[in-house]
Amino acid sequence: MTESWRDDSKSFLRSNMKKKVLPTFYGGIIGDMLGVPVEFKKRGTFRIEGVTGYGTYNQPPGTWSDDSSLTLCTIESIVENENADGLMRKFVKYAEEGYWTPFDRMFDIGIATNQAVSRFRDGLPAEACGGKGEYDNGNGALMRIAPAAFLLIHHKNFAEKAEIIKSYTEITHAHPRSIVGSILYVELLIRLYHNATLQESLAAIKSLFNEHYEYGHSYERELAHYARIFDAGFFSLPEQEIKSDGYVVHSLEAAIWCAGSSGSFREAVLKAVNLGDDTDTVGFIAGTLSGIMHGMEGIPAEWLSGIVRKDKIDALLERFYLFCADAAE
């Protein structure tokens, strides 16, 4: 009887993990591929209503960018039980060989990430490669950190989780503002996994910061930069109040606003991409949040089938959700 209960429990955990993992990452990749053709274009100068191609990078429809590539590198690294140096070696392969790209060639990489990769090539350990200055707060770590949520899904100690999230972030972005952004995003995904609403999740996360970081702590100070997402009227802000550039704070704000002010996955990711500017990253983050909120049934089938190299991604995500379910037992 005990063994039967354990088998049922394991089966349920795997099923639930699959139910959450797949729409999170397919949602992100779809948001990314919708945004690739119009990255850097200004709001109001275009209108995306579905999958298109070419544009900014002259890539075919269904092409995803560094947001998805570095996320897939992170997923593979977790499954393979690699340390930070192992993950950075994958980032080097991405930059040099087009590893985990749609067509085996890299066409986009963020400045801070590229600098971190160069430092690693020069012999620095991964944990020392991330930029520490205030101008190093781009969204290059935020866009790839989502897999950490599923690694930590049943981890109860907030301070320990924050340290693990920091270790994944600091290899490319080591300023406390970027680390706080990663913590906020990962904690949001964890709570959405457990079926909390976006508003409930944000309130709970703010309380966690208040409980764990006393006045003057660097994370407590940096949280102030994200203050708007905790305001009661945040999701009612007009579009013109939302910035969608590559600054970590703006990217996270924009993605949360799109997810929270939309009634469907389709609406959220189209809203994110049509904000303009850093369209692929805001689309990716909004896609992960909306994906986990609305599930696979909420993702348009024609968008899903349009993902380049989807079969390869399918196989990796299966390995990942099984790994995370087994780790959570």
Candidates 316, 36, 285, 33; CA nearest to 145 is 285
Instruction: Render 173-239 in DSSP notation, one character per residue.
Output: B-SHHHHHHHHHHHHHHHHHHTT--HHHHHHHHHHHHHHHS-TT-HHHHHHGGGGGGGSTTGGGS-G
Do the annotations mark residue 281 as ligand-binding? Answer: yes
Residue matched to tokens 């049922």: 8
For CA atoms 307, 264, 19, 202, give the dihedral sign.
positive
Query: Which residues lie closer than 8 Å to 275 by C-beta, 6 or more apart?
Result: 43, 239, 242, 244, 254, 258, 282
d(CA 139, CA 173): 9
Do the annotations mark residue 66 as ligand-binding? Answer: yes
CA 28 to chain centre: 7
Do the annotations mark residue 207 as ligand-binding? Answer: no
**Length of the chain, in residues:** 329
Secondary structure of residue 96 in the 3-state scheme:
helix
d(CA 185, CA 306): 27
d(CA 152, CA 174): 20
Q: Are 184 and 284 in contact (CB under 8 A)?
A: no
Do the annotations mark residue 280 as ligand-binding? Answer: yes
Quote the tokens at residue 59: 């890539």
Binding residues for Mg(2+): 65-67, 278, 280-281
Binding residues: 65-67, 278, 280-281
